[in-house]
Amino acid sequence: MVWTTSNGTCPSSTSTVNIQVDDFASPVSAGPDQAFCLTSTSTNLNATNPTVGVATWSVMAGSGTFGNPNLNTSTVSGLTTGTNTLVWTNTNGVCPTTSDTVDIILLMFPTTANAGPDQILCPNSTVLAGNLPAIGVGNWSVFTGGGSVNTPTLNSSNVNSLSTGTNSLVWTASNGNCPTNSDTVLLIVLPPVQQAFAGNDTTIYVTSAPVNGNIPTSGTGMWQFVGGSFNISNPNQSSTTLTNLVQVVNTVKWVITEMCGSTEDEKNITLIVLEIPNAISPNGDGINDYLEVPIADYYSQVELKVVNRWGSVVFEDRDYKNTWNGVNQDNQPLTEDTYFYVIKLNSEVKTGYILIKR
């Protein structure tokens, strides 16, 4: 445009001004945010190319060096760990600029996972002992067995409802889209302590008695005195013998001890003293004709030996069945007199005298 001044016939003067009208800079997009692991410190950008104006890349936060600051798909290198914020700014003359930002997040590899030491447990619950990742987060999962982890993302979470036997739990460390790593811990839950069984209560007629506890599947067993009076031949054997029992209720207990505790069971043994008759009258009247050993059927072996007053054996039976009626070995009646007997009941021996009176 020209501005002219004049005055009559005098020469005029002029001045020119140029007026340029610019279009508004077109809107731009810096492209999608990116996150990747620390395998590289560079990437390709993906901004939109402006239809009006000229756009330029710049760094708002973090760091970065652009291959071509005016290229929408420029490479950027020298990124730092963490968030790098880059700006794509479009200008056109004196018009207002337009811009957009993109975050390039450079992730570090997660901390190496450590699930903690293996554990041998009695209850079916425990506290886990994974390491706390300095980089990234951790997460518990059940690989084999059972278990309910209260807080899967907590390295020291409680875990309940473990199965008896071996349970494998995995502690996995992750950080964004970086490769994960994991470690496994074995939680071995022992079975409940075996219930001890000492056997049923019993009544005996001799001063010794066998006892038979159940055999421990693991751990150890031991017989222990509770009441009465007796000796235990081999306290650490499930099958042993009690000796020198007295005529009361004798109580012994069988204790099974394992890693997870112990169980016990008591057995009462009542001793009844055997009283053997001291006289017989073998006259055929059916009354007191035989020397009868009470409850002879209780014993696996009963032996009888009869000796006269001069020490001579007059009768002997190694499998006695309560059939001696005052006869000698030839089944001839012995004279009325006092004799002496030796009766062997299994391993116990009883002696005394017997009067024959017809």
DSSP string, 17-42: -----PPPPPP------EEEETT-S-
Task: Name every residue whose Cβ is closer than 8 Å to that of residue 64 and which is 6 or more positions away in sequence.
Answer: 76, 77, 78, 79, 84, 86, 104
- Residue that is written with structure tokens 């150890």 in the block: 220
pLDDT at res. 295: 78
**Mind listing the pLDDT tens digit of every residue in the chain (358 residues)?**
767 677 778 888 877 767 665 678 899 999 999 998 888 889 999 999 999 999 999 999 999 999 999 999 999 999 999 999 999 999 998 889 999 999 999 999 999 999 999 999 998 999 999 999 999 999 999 999 999 999 999 999 999 999 999 999 999 999 988 999 999 999 999 999 999 999 999 988 778 899 999 999 989 999 999 999 999 999 999 999 999 999 889 999 999 999 999 999 999 999 987 788 999 999 989 999 999 988 777 788 899 999 999 999 999 999 999 999 999 999 999 999 999 999 998 877 889 999 999 8
pLDDT at res. 20: 65
pLDDT at res. 40: 83
Q: Which token pair is 195?
A: 């219930």
Task: Name every residue whose Cβ is closer than 8 Å to that of residue 290 and which is 6 or more positions away in sequence.
Answer: 280, 282, 322, 323, 324, 325
Question: What is the spatial distance between Cα 31 and Cα 83, in angstroms, rounded to a whole number?
Answer: 15
Q: Domains in the chain, please, with CATH?
A: 34-107 (2.60.40.10), 119-189 (2.60.40.10), 202-271 (2.60.40.10), 279-356 (2.60.40)
Question: What is the spatial distance between Cα 68 and Cα 58, in angstroms, rounded to a whole number?
Answer: 11
Q: The pTM is what? A: 0.62
- Put residue 265 in one of left, alpha, beta given phi > 0 → left and psi -120 to 50 → alpha: beta
pLDDT at res. 11: 84
